[in-house]
């Protein structure tokens, strides 16, 4: 592992953060070097510090410790993420024999120079008690391979007398005291190794401390490679996993089954529902090989490689055979067994630390010969858990090959999992209305489609947007890029049954399944019946009706596999009730689509899915995402009425009862209402047209 220190980058940080002093600027620089390497820390793990000085309100120079704030991410840390704490009151605490967690927090927060600063790391005292200017703490994977063993033999063989080795000690005051005492006994040591936990390095400069981390991680990596011959047998493909293409196809069928089994029943103000989850799957060759190995199930039932990970992934992972991952009954049975085992463990080990149990459901599932998938109500949480699980499987496989993987005991892990100071790292999240839901929207590149996509994203759903027009779809995804990975897209001609199956599978692979299906794709053709081109008529029916049927057909398979209900919202039109001259093809196709929705409402109720329709009218869109329908027919309408574009919009606004402009977001909000399942409604038609008496549903 080479050092990534670069003199030019270091100087750039010193210039950029000149107002914070050179020491803190370089601390930020090396913290980011550490945080950007997933083999050292993942997603907020690890911590760093620097001892420097600040002026207090009286203008006096005060010695301070700038230490990572709890929950901060080293990869992106700013000076504000390393809050300054007065050093003197921290050092006084070392004279104590005991110090409660809350007392420790009170003292540390009371020593902050800025009251609005984030909580300093739970390991602040450890950084303070060590005498070095810079201190780095990592959960480096190669080091954990050495420390998660029955004894210290491999640590000693790799590092010799350059390190002090400590047993597992709960973070906080006890660990801080133990580390300081260990260094006092061996001041010549160049690092401290905490078994089952990680590595501490230190130095007089930022570079020295950082490069010591790199040195010891490199030594650990080379030692492990010498001992196991490079690739751990569990990761080498024996027994053979599924071929890569088959893994993708398998996940497309299996993820909805697993996702459905992990949806927890949830009481809401509107009745019984589910806490749905979204997934992030990984199917690399080494992960698939691990999942095919005979030791995989046993290793999945062991605790994490480092205790911090329990917050993101729980202690154990769910292992599923391929048969169980495809069978709703078998999968639910495995999930129930996992939950029962967790509950028993809580009663034995966790009850003493907390009055109530956290969710007993697994977060990570390892699927035989396929790989892993992580599940959480928020996509970002699922992706973080998957990243950690990916590292964990590789680390466990290498530790298994080196000797015997021996993590924390259940009792030790329960103390960490229910430790209030550890749980504070996870910020409280107020769930969005559609948190955990996955929506599939067709015709997403049109004005109405874009409005639906936007409203669903704002409501917290993950959205898969599809359209036949690649350029317009790209413009829509760019428009909503701020929503990040919660928006995925795929191009498809939905009149092709194979394409429908493919694009819905892409949705499943992106997020895990689907809960809200919005068949919205449509085209128009204006012609009197006497002059109708049969081919044009057939094309409109194919896009507006047949494609709707194909989407409903394929979505039914996924919704049934999940068995957690859901919603379908068909985009009909006011023309289904109030057709106009010259619009026979469009009106007939929308009547047919509405009938499909009504029949689907009767058939899909069997697996708890509600099917409703929206009748929208006069939705023009905007310059960025205009209505394709109005682009096609608007010119004729303007000519017939002697109006310009603004006049045409005013005409349709004024003809409604409410004299209002119907916006794409209005249609989107109607979809969100149906997706929120606030009322037990199916088979309904909701007009979004400003009020047109002739189009009132009858």
pTM strictly above 0.85: yes
Cα four-point dihedral sign 353, 354, 355, 361: negative
Which residues make Cβ contacts (< 8 Å) with residue 258, sequence separation at least 6?
A: 279, 320, 325, 331, 365, 367, 373, 375, 512
Longest Cα–Cα distance of the chain, Å, equals 99
Residue 291: both structure tokens together: 């999942």
Mean of the pLDDT values across residues 368-396? 96
pLDDT reported for residue 620: 82
DSSP 68: P
Q: How far is CA 614 from its chain centroid?
A: 31
394-430 pLDDT, tens digit each: 999 999 999 999 999 999 999 999 998 877 766 666 8
Which residues partner with 626 through β-bridges? 621
Mean of the pLDDT values across residues 558-582? 93
pLDDT reported for residue 644: 79
What b/e string do you get for 150-188 counting C-beta neighbours within 10 Å, with b at 16 or more? Answer: eebebbeebbeebbbbbebbbbbbebbbbbbebbeeeee
Residue 614: both structure tokens together: 């929206």
Cα–Cα separations (whole angstroms), residue 269 to 284, 632, 673, 676, 679: 42, 45, 15, 12, 10
DSSP 112: B
Mean of the pLDDT values across residues 560-566? 95
Distance, CA of 237 to CA of 549 (rounded, Å) = 42
pLDDT reported for residue 428: 63
Bridge pairing between strands 271-275 and 462-467: unpaired
pLDDT reported for residue 58: 87
29 is catalytic: no
At what angle are helices 244-261 and 285-292 packed, to 10 degrees? 70
**Element spanning 519, H or E:** none
Query: Quick check: 390 and 348 in contact, CB under 8 A?
Result: no
Q: What angle do CA 63, 64, 67 make, to 5 degrees?
A: 160
pLDDT at 652 over 90: no
User: What pLDDT band is residue 618 in, cutting at 50, 70 and 90?
Assistant: confident
Query: Quick check: 582 and 526 in contact, CB under 8 A?
Result: yes
Closest CA to 143 of 240, 212, 202: 212
Greater confidence (120 vs 44) lies with 120
Cα–Cα separations (whole angstroms), residue 148 to 168, 390, 441: 10, 17, 47
Residue 43: both structure tokens together: 């997603």
Domains of the chain: 7-228 (3.40.225.10), 244-423 (3.40.225), 438-691 (3.40.50.720)
Per mean pLDDT, which range of 424-428, 437-441, 533-537 is the poorest? 424-428
Distance, CA of 274 to CA of 647 (rounded, Å) = 48
Query: Quick check: 50 and 32 in contact, CB under 8 A?
Result: no
The secondary structure of 158-205, three-state, reads HHHHHEEEECCCCCCHHHHHHHHHHHHHCCCCCEEEECCCEEEEEECC
**Element spanning 217, H or E:** helix 206-228
pLDDT reported for residue 214: 97
Distance, CA of 130 to CA of 203 (rounded, Å) = 10
**Element spanning 367, H or E:** strand 364-367
pLDDT at 238 over 90: no
Mean of the pLDDT values across residues 512-527? 94
Q: How far is CA 500 from its chain centroid?
A: 26
pLDDT at 635 over 80: no
pLDDT at 302 over 70: yes
Distance, CA of 487 to CA of 464 (rounded, Å) = 6
Average pLDDT of the chain to the nearest whole number: 93
DSSP 436: T
* Cβ atoms within 10 Å, residue 354: 15
Residue 290: both structure tokens together: 């691990």
* Cβ atoms within 10 Å, residue 55: 10
At what angle are helices 628-641 and 645-654 packed, to 10 degrees? 90
Which residues make Cβ contacts (< 8 Å) with residue 181, sequence separation at least 6?
A: none
Examine residue 239 and say whether the peptide bond preceding it is cis (omega within 30 degrees of 0). yes
pLDDT reported for residue 397: 96
Query: Quick check: 520 and 444 in contact, CB under 8 A?
Result: yes
Per mean pLDDT, which range of 116-125, 580-589, 616-625 is the poorest? 616-625
pLDDT reported for residue 147: 96
Distance, CA of 355 to CA of 350 (rounded, Å) = 9
Query: Quick check: 373 and 278 in contact, CB under 8 A?
Result: no
pLDDT at 337 over 90: yes
What single string gives the DSSP state of each residue in 394-434?
A: HHHHHHHHHS------HHHHHHHHT-HHHHTTS------TT
Coil, strand, or helix at residue 425? Answer: coil
Residue 537: both structure tokens together: 């008529």
pLDDT at 140 over 90: yes
Coil, strand, or helix at residue 134? Answer: strand
CA-CA-CA-CA torsion for 548, 554, 559, 562, nearest 10 degrees?
-160
Q: Of the residues 29, 317, 586, 652, which is catalytic?
A: 586
Query: Quick check: 159 and 222 in contact, CB under 8 A?
Result: no
pLDDT reported for residue 422: 77
Query: Quick check: 138 and 1 in contact, CB under 8 A?
Result: no
DSSP 514: -
**Burial class of 693 by CB neighbour count within 10 A (0 to 12, 13 to 18, 19+):** exposed
């Amino acid at each position: 592992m080479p050092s990534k220190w670069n003199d030019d980058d270091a100087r750039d940080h010193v210039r950029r953060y000149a107002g914070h002093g050179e020491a803190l600027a370089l601390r930020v620089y090396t913290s980011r070097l550490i945080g950007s390497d997933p083999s050292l820390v993942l997603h907020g793990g690890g911590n760093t510090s620097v001892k420097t000085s600040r002026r207090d309100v009286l203008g006096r120079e005060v010695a301070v410790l700038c230490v990572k704030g709890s929950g901060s991410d080293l990869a992106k840390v700013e000076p504000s993420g390393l809050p300054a704490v007065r050093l003197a009151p921290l050092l006084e605490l070392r004279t104590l024999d005991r110090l409660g967690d809350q007392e420790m927090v009170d003292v540390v927060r009371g020593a902050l120079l800025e009251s609005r600063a984030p909580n300093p790391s739970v390991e602040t005292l450890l950084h303070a008690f060590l005498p070095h200017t810079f201190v780095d703490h990592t959960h480096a994977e190669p080091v954990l391979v050495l420390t998660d063993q029955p004894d210290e033999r491999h640590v000693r063989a790799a590092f010799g007398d350059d390190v002090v080795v400590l047993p597992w000690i709960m973070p906080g005051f006890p660990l801080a005291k133990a580390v300081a005492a260990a260094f006092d006994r061996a001041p010549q040591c160049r690092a401290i190794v905490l078994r089952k936990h990680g590595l501490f390095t230190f130095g007089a400069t930022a570079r020295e401390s950082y490069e010591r981390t790199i040195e010891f991680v490199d030594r650990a990596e080379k030692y492990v490679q010498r001992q196991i011959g490079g690739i751990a047998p569990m990761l080498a493909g024996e027994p053979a996993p599924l071929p890569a293409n088959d893994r993708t196809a398998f996940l497309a069928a299996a993820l909805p089954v697993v996702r459905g089994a992990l949806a927890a029943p949830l009481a809401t103000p509107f009745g019984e529902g589910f806490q749905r989850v979204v997934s992030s799957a990984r199917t690399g060759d080494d992960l698939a090989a691990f999942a095919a190995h005979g030791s995989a199930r046993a290793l999945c039932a062991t605790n994490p490689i480092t205790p911090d990970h329990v917050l993101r992934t729980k202690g154990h992972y769910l292992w599923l055979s391929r048969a169980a991952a495809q069978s709703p009954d078998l999968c639910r049975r495995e999930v129930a067994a996992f939950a029962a085992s967790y509950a028993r463990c809580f009663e034995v080990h966790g009850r003493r630390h907390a009055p109530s149990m956290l969710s007993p459901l697994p977060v990570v599932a390892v699927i035989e010969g396929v790989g892993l998938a992580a599940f959480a109500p928020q996509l970002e949480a699922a992706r973080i858990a998957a990243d950690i699980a990916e590292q964990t499987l590789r680390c466990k496989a290498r530790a298994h090959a080196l000797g015997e993987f021996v993590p924390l005991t259940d009792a030790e892990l329960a103390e960490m999992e229910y430790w209030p100071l550890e749980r504070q790292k996870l910020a409280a999240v107020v769930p969005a209305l559609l948190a955990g839901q996955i929506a599939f929207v067709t015709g997403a590149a049109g004005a109405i489609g874009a409005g639906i996509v936007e409203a669903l994203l704002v409501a917290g759903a993950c959205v898969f947007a599809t359209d036949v027009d690649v350029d317009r779809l790209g413009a829509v995804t760019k428009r909503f890029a701020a929503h990040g990975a919660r928006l995925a897209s795929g191009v498809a001609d939905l009149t092709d049954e194979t394409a429908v199956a493919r694009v819905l599978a892409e949705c499943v692979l992106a997020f895990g399944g689907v809960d809200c299906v919005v068949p919205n794709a449509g085209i128009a053709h204006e012609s009197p019946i006497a002059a109708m081109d049969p081919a044009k008529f057939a094309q409109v029916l194919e896009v507006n009706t047949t494609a709707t049927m194909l989407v409903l057909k394929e979505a039914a398979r996924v919704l049934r596999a999940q068995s957690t209900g859901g919603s379908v919202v068909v985009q009909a039109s006011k023309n289904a009730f109030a057709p106009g001259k010259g619009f026979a093809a469009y009106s007939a196709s929308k009547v047919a689509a509405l009938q499909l929705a009504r029949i689907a409402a009767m058939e899909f109720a069997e697996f708890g899915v509600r099917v409703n329709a929206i009748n929208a009218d006069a939705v023009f869109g905007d310059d960025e995402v205009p209505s394709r329908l109005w682009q096609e027919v608007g010119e004729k309408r303007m000519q017939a009425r002697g109006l310009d574009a603004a006049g045409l919009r005013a005409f349709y606004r004024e003809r409604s009862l409410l004299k209002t402009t119907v916006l794409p977001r209005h249609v989107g909000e109607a979809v969100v209402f149906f997706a929120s399942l606030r009322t037990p409604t199916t088979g309904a038609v909701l007009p979004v047209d400003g009020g047109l008496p002739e189009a009132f549903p009858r």
